[in-house]
Amino acid sequence: MKQTTKVTLFSLLIFPGVGHLLLKKYAIALGFIASFAYLLLGFVKDILTKSQQVIDSIMRGEVSLEISAIQQALMDQGVIDNPQLATTGYLMLLIWGLAAFDAYRIAKKNNPLVPPNISGTNM
């Protein structure tokens, strides 16, 4: 497998910045990993906190066990249709895409294609 493909797939399928680790670009890798992990942890924490409030309401009997009631409670808490969470999600996707593209770019720059022998003779 070509290095450009390998580092791009690692960045896309495993975690943003992992492709840079394979390229030994540790500072860039740390930047992508730290920024994505920070956003991801905040995203998950926010969703879990708001969802836990809905679960507590269900346990107290304030919200019935009907799908529409639970969905409405999640909307009221801001778990569903939350512009802040949507923005964070789009920012995470942007970082993920940039990490994969940058890993591909660096790998391609480090391994340029060897130009073909135009004269047709072996040197």
List, for residues 8-51, the tens digit of each pLDDT value: 999 999 999 999 999 999 999 999 999 999 999 999 999 899 88
Using the structure block, give the residue that is written with the tokens 């580092």. 7
The pTM of this model reads 0.77
Which of 1-5, 30-34, 113-117 ranks highest by mean pLDDT?
Answer: 30-34
Residue 122 class from Cβ within 10 Å (0-12 exposed, 13-18 middle, 19+ buried)?
exposed
Using pLDDT thresholds of 50, 70 and 90, give the confidence band for residue 113. low
Helix axis angle for 26-60 and 67-77, nearest 10°, is 130
Check residue 64 and give its pLDDT: 87
Check residue 120 and give its pLDDT: 55
